[in-house]
Structure 1
Amino acid sequence: MFPNFFVNAGYITSGLELWSGEPCGRKYFRQRLWGSLSGAHTFFTDLDCYLKHLELDPITGSDPPNIRVRASQGFEAADYFMSAYWVWAKLIENFADVGYDASTMTLMSYDWRLAFPILEERDGFLTKLRFAIEALHKSRGEKVVLLAHSMGSSLVLYFLAWVTREEHLGGGGGGADWVDKHVHSFVNLAGTLLGTSKSAPALLSGEIKDTVSLLGPIGTVTERYFGRKRRKDLANTWGSVWSMLPKGGNTIWGAGADLQQSTDQNTSVPMHFVPLQSTQPAPIVSFTDSRSASNNPSCTLQQNTSIEHNNPKNNTYLHASHLQNIIQKFSSKTNRSIDEVIEFLEQWGNGYGSTLSAANLHSFKKKDQLTPDLWHDPTSTPLPYAPSLKIYCLYGVGIQTERAYFYKRNCGENGDLSGSNCDNTALNDPPFIIDASVNDPSRNIKKGILFADGDGSVPLLSTGYMCVDGWTRDTNGLNPSGVNITTREYKDKQEFQVDDPMRKGPESGDHVDILGNVHAMEDILKVVTGFEVETVTTHLESDILNITDRIRINLLGRSTVT
């Protein structure tokens, strides 16, 4: 049995407590603002105060003045969300059943809002994680097993890059062989390895599938109470959302490989696979306006006065005319690739431009030298030297997952075009919104969103590409010591259970439900105990191998042309 050490990886699933705040929030001292029923009550009764304490400073990426919100600690930080919605609870109970307790396993919760570098700068999280692993290793005499879920898997990869780099290069100074000495296995559960598509609309317009799907009075009330602008402004202060933007650029996401028909596919999701159009790269954002912004020079941007008023460093906010030029340029073209979307987000910065902290902490372009702003990207940052390390990629498939979006410029009243062509009209904030009128079932498009295979939150392209190709190919240098990679996919099989009505059953492949998937839990227990671990072998249910083949062909084709 190996000492089991796991990081609470779920984005938004660990509790956040208030330690100091503005006068309106002092009554919530040490109460959970996030992850509890009391926090939900605060959201509905005092939204302004609630958001003021959950947002970060957009310029520093850390705490706003006079406010300190910190992650809850211990197993109770992430066993349940909102009291009854289990997250890590089932796994913790199963670990206890095979002999684990608080002396042999640890849950390291963290402030999931922060960009990874700020986690170390503000909380010393990476240093604490390193020494906690070393302590378990020394006390038990065995290497540890790292288990992470969702964004936590990306954080683990960032940590592995950090701990092996020298301190003068921004690293932790553990040495090139630190991982090989201390870590036996890394279990990557539904990891956002190449990001997730829905980070882009969250930053562009404060929207995802769940908000776009709200209809009638419920949608109207939601928009008026906690609308797109407020959601967008909040998301842009959280560096973690930037860390989950799609990685790999047009080479991977622009190939549209997960949208094509395969003659020998073993598709796991009931969808139509549409051949990629001749134009490349495949867009992640398409504008549906009949007239482009460049043809409507009188369409101007309303200054984002609320941000300017609340920001103590409001002199960093871009001038409205400069914002207008950036926005018009972006919306003047029908299709925008992921590289173009990220470039726009960096220039725009929700109005702060290049002064936005998150934009400066993340790079999405390959460089000659590996710098800390690339450590979040596994397509640029090789795995550490660790020939004895084993990585297990476990994730669900067979659920329609957000992949690309159809947008329109936001010129109408209350964030709706309402038939307006934007002439002589001021653009609202956000300047673009998802066009929910776009529907085409034959192309997997519903309410302005194009879907592909995945686990309902993270596309298959993100969960699977590095595991079956990026780290297994000898020619790209991303796995220099030949770390053994095992990939297991779990086909989604949903069923209703009376005793657990909020979840989708013990064989669900859903992004969060995978934490209670009986087959995934069995595989995880085999890895952490070493019992019958030889039976945990690669098993694929999706079209991922054909997808990676298409990406290679696309890359070779581009190389030939150039």
Structure 2
Amino acid sequence: MSLIRRRKHPFNESFRKPEKEHENGDFSYESKRKKIPYEHEEERPLSKWSCLDTWCWLIGCVCVTWWFLLFLYNAMPASFPKYVTEVITGPLPDPPGVKLRKLGLTAKHPVVFVPAAVTGGLELWEGRKCAQGLFRKRLWGGTFGDVYKRPQCWVEHMSLDNETGMDPCGIRVRPISGLVTADGLGSGYFVWTTLVSNLARIGYEEKTMFMAAYDWRLSFQNTQVRDQTLSRIKNNIELMVATRGGQKAVIIPHSAGALFFLHFMKWVEAPPPMGGGGGPYWCSKHIKAVVNIAAPFLGVPKAIPLFLSAESKDVSLVRAIAPGFLENDIFQPQILQHVMRLSHSWDSTVSMIPRGGDTIWGSLDWSPEEGYSCDQKREMKNSTRVTNPARAKSAISLTRSANFGRIVSFGKDVAEAPSNDIDRIDFKGAVKGHRAENRTCRDLWAGYHGMGFEGTKAVADYKTYTAESIVELLHFVAPKMMARSTAHFSHGIADNMDDPKYKHYKYWSNPLETTLPIAPEMEIFSFYGTGLPTERSYVYKLSPTAECHIPFQIDSSANDEETCLKGGAYSVDGDGTVPVLSAGFMCAKAWHGKTKFNPSGIRTYVREYRHSPPTTLLEGCGTLNCAHVDIMRSFALIEDVIRIAAGASGEELGGNRVHSNIFKWSEKINLQL
């Protein structure tokens, strides 16, 4: 044991305490650690939190949160979200299909859906090299991923030939057939799904429902020429009626689909080769009712900015927030120019131009909606007795009305001035100038580049345009488009319906230049939303005179609360897209009873649905939302549609139901019936 000795620590000078410490009496251990470190121990710098660490931490938090929420979503019962919604908003009503099934309603009449423009899916069957790998993939009606990946290629394949209005050489884009096209236009954008699912709850299935898909870019007659679409619709309706024991079909068009089906009803009765050869009583034998939803029978003023400047009020607000963004050459391809290129190549868009001229839409000093107040609450206050002098003065000022008949005015002062004070220079005789040669600009559109600065100035010098002169304006600024499309569409009013010229297909989609079929037992409904500001006329200004810029744009700085002017657009009552006048006039007056437009006296009904936005985010779009597209999920509308499909007549439905001034406005229109 004596051999085991305790080793002494090797002598190190650092362990020797300075004499000053002993002299000061500082013998603490901490002072030794701070003042006398080991010589072999290196000082390590403090670690710094870098930007990369922050991003990694943030991504980790997001992933953990996402996984946690995903776990909760999969772990919780399927009824839990519904339970939470009911706790916050109260018990949810039964869907219309469930409610009516409890009342004993079952499927009776076969149903045919007619989609609107832009709400039908399109897929690629043949294309250029840039579209490799997209065979039978959705170019329209999917996720629109290819718009972002290869935008110029997408525009090239979605455009039609400027001369023929048909497919460009080497490109074939075709409509998607079947109910699958009702599954959704895009992420979170559903049109027919809710209606189809509720019809299924009372017994409908694919053999009793048919989606009349068509290429909405083409003129209505060209859908028959290229795809035989009208013949297929005729054959399917005949088959469904035969297999249902003779029960007539209920047709449900949405938006521009109503114009397409109006064309179909004339085509099916007309003799071949122009028509389908069904004879004058085909509709009477095969159609029980036509339920038009948000139908723009007389067109929409909202179509005019699409042709003039490829914009709407919403686009003009973007211009106001970020001036020059949409026209900046950095952001290629130029967005609005390519939108104009597409719209000018699609013949179907011309069908949306307002019909009926000044007789329907008003003149420089008159319009049917004259005196309309955009604030319904303020209108109600004005109708009551005013006791406060200040309020009385305010009420008097509100009597100033917008000149809605001036669909386009260059300047807010022109839109408000008396017509006698407006100096107008006729543009039709103006000599068009020429811009500098620039092939890029000519590729973007065919109209404005050839019009030149002189032509642009002539358009602005005419000051203001009504429904009649706006058609002349479009012939001036887009001659190729209008020359092609006027062979397929007309926008006037027929004086003599017996004139042989009205047998031509160009008049068949204009309800003011054609007659309803001889079918006295048939019913026609007009369902649409009200209570939403809807664009009626516009204040324009000239754009900067850059080489490739569109020369006109909505003046987003023009505002006037009293005359319903906001962001350069005057608004009236409607569903946000179609004014009440366009959706309701035909059933309220022109088709009501026996008229020259309705020779057999088909019964017509107007049923309006007052818009009520959702009160909470949990309601989603809401069941009372009656905007142009969202109305397809309105429980009240779906219930009415199901009742008609199950056999109810218009009288059993309750007849007309009106919230707007459609009958009052219709009476102001002096139309010979």
Task: Name the TM-score class by shorter chain.
Answer: 0.7 to 0.9
Q: Which amino acid aligns with 1:257?
A: S
How do 1:127-526 residues align onto structure 2 when only pairs under 5 Å count?
127-140=231-244, 141-168=246-273, 170-214=274-318, 221-224=325-328, 225=331, 226-254=334-362, 256-261=366-371, 274-275=400-401, 282-288=405-411, 301=435, 305-306=439-440, 308-309=442-443, 327-349=456-478, 352=480, 355=483, 357-366=484-493, 368=499, 369-370=501-502, 371-413=504-546, 429-472=549-592, 474=594, 476-499=595-618, 501=620, 503=621, 505-526=622-643
Measured after TM superposition, the shift of residue 447 of structure 1 is 1.2
Q: Which amino acid aligns with 2:577?
A: S
Alignment of 1:72 with 2:176, yes or no, is yes
Alpha carbons of 1:205 and 1:138: their partners in 2 closer, same or farther (altered >3 Å)?
Answer: same
Aligned to 2:206, what secondary structure does the other structure show? Answer: coil
Tell me the equivalent position of 1:422: none
Count of aligned pairs between the two proteins: 524
Higher mean alpha-carbon deviation, 5-14 vs 520-529, is at 5-14
Tell me the equivalent position of 1:423: none
Check conservation: 2:270, 2:278, Cα contact below 8 A.
Answer: yes
Measured after TM superposition, the shift of residue 306 of structure 1 is 3.5
Distance (Å, rounded) in 1 between the aligned partners of 2:559 and 2:362: 22
Distance (Å, rounded) in 1 between the aligned partners of 2:426 and 2:526: 46
Aligned to 2:521, what secondary structure does the other structure show? Answer: coil
Check conservation: 2:432, 2:452, Cα contact below 8 A.
Answer: no
Measured after TM superposition, the shift of residue 490 of structure 1 is 0.5
Q: Which runs of 5+ in 1 are unaligned?
A: 312-316, 414-425, 557-562
Identical pairs, percent? 31
Render the CA deviation track for 1:52-81: whole Å, top value 9, x for unaligned: 111111111111111111111221212312
Distance (Å, rounded) in 2 between the aligned partners of 1:75 and 1:455: 26
Q: Which amino acid aligns with 2:250?
A: V
Check conservation: 1:471, 1:485, Cα contact below 8 A.
Answer: yes
Distance (Å, rounded) in 2 between the aligned partners of 1:12 and 1:323: 32
Distance (Å, rounded) in 1 between the aligned partners of 2:510 and 2:649: 33
Cα RMSD of the aligned pairs, angstroms, is 3.1
Render the CA deviation track for 1:19-55: whole Å, top value 9, x for unaligned: 1111111222111111211x2x221222111111111
Distance (Å, rounded) in 2 between the aligned partners of 1:135 and 1:31: 30
Aligned to 2:318, what secondary structure does the other structure show? Answer: coil
Structure with the greater relative contact order (CA < 8 A, sep ≥ 6): 1 or 2?
1
Check conservation: 1:20, 1:66, Cα contact below 8 A.
Answer: yes
Check conservation: 1:237, 1:358, Cα contact below 8 A.
Answer: no
Q: Which amino acid aligns with 2:142?
A: S
Aligned to 2:112, what secondary structure does the other structure show? Answer: strand
How do 1:70-109 residues align onto structure 2 when only pairs under 5 Å count?
70-109=174-213
Distance (Å, rounded) in 1 between the aligned partners of 2:221 and 2:660: 34
Alpha carbons of 1:18 and 1:218: their partners in 2 closer, same or farther (altered >3 Å)?
Answer: farther
Measured after TM superposition, the shift of residue 252 of structure 1 is 0.2
Aligned to 2:211, what secondary structure does the other structure show? Answer: strand
Alignment of 1:54 with 2:54, yes or no, is no
Render the CA deviation track for 1:76-129: whole Å, top value 9, x for unaligned: 212312143221110011000000001111112221211111111111111111
Tell me the equivalent position of 1:31: 137
Check conservation: 2:109, 2:647, Cα contact below 8 A.
Answer: no
Distance (Å, rounded) in 2 between the aligned partners of 1:219 and 1:411: 11
Q: What TM-score comes out, normalization by structure 2 length?
A: 0.72
Tell me the equivalent position of 1:551: 669
Distance (Å, rounded) in 1 between the aligned partners of 2:132 and 2:286: 42
Distance (Å, rounded) in 1 between the aligned partners of 2:374 and 2:662: 9
Alignment of 1:5 with 2:122, yes or no, is no
Higher mean alpha-carbon deviation, 221-230 vs 8-17, is at 221-230
Check conservation: 1:493, 1:507, Cα contact below 8 A.
Answer: yes
Distance (Å, rounded) in 1 between the aligned partners of 2:326 and 2:589: 42
Q: Which amino acid aligns with 1:145?
A: V
Alpha carbons of 1:208 and 1:47: their partners in 2 closer, same or farther (altered >3 Å)?
Answer: same
Q: Which amino acid aligns with 2:517?
A: P
Measured after TM superposition, the shift of residue 498 of structure 1 is 3.5
Q: Which amino acid aligns with 1:242?
A: V
Aligned to 1:251, what secondary structure does the other structure show? Answer: helix
Check conservation: 2:432, 2:455, Cα contact below 8 A.
Answer: no
Q: Which runs of 5+ in 2 are unaligned?
A: 1-106, 380-397, 414-422
Alpha carbons of 1:26 and 1:454: their partners in 2 closer, same or farther (altered >3 Å)?
Answer: same
Check conservation: 2:535, 2:577, Cα contact below 8 A.
Answer: yes
Measured after TM superposition, the shift of residue 521 of structure 1 is 0.5
Distance (Å, rounded) in 2 between the aligned partners of 1:160 and 1:478: 14
Structure with larger Rg = 2
Q: Which amino acid aligns with 1:283?
A: R
Question: Paired residue for 1:541, among 637, 659, 663?
Answer: 659
Alpha carbons of 1:49 and 1:267: their partners in 2 closer, same or farther (altered >3 Å)?
Answer: same
Distance (Å, rounded) in 2 between the aligned partners of 1:267 and 1:381: 37
Distance (Å, rounded) in 2 between the aligned partners of 1:276 and 1:213: 21
Tell me the equivalent position of 1:529: 646
Distance (Å, rounded) in 2 between the aligned partners of 1:318 and 1:221: 23
Distance (Å, rounded) in 2 between the aligned partners of 1:324 and 1:376: 36
Distance (Å, rounded) in 2 between the aligned partners of 1:435 and 1:318: 22
Alpha carbons of 1:518 and 1:320: their partners in 2 closer, same or farther (altered >3 Å)?
Answer: closer
Check conservation: 1:202, 1:232, Cα contact below 8 A.
Answer: yes
Tell me the equivalent position of 1:421: none
Distance (Å, rounded) in 2 between the aligned partners of 1:66 and 1:208: 33
Render the CA deviation track for 1:185-208: whole Å, top value 9, x for unaligned: 111011111111111110111011
Measured after TM superposition, the shift of residue 218 of structure 1 is 6.4
Alpha carbons of 1:27 and 1:171: their partners in 2 closer, same or farther (altered >3 Å)?
Answer: same
Q: Which amino acid aligns with 2:229?
A: F
Alpha carbons of 1:305 and 1:436: their partners in 2 closer, same or farther (altered >3 Å)?
Answer: farther
Measured after TM superposition, the shift of residue 500 of structure 1 is 5.4
Q: Which amino acid aligns with 1:28?
A: L
Render the CA deviation track for 1:336-370: whole Å, top value 9, x for unaligned: 11111112213432x63654x22332222346430
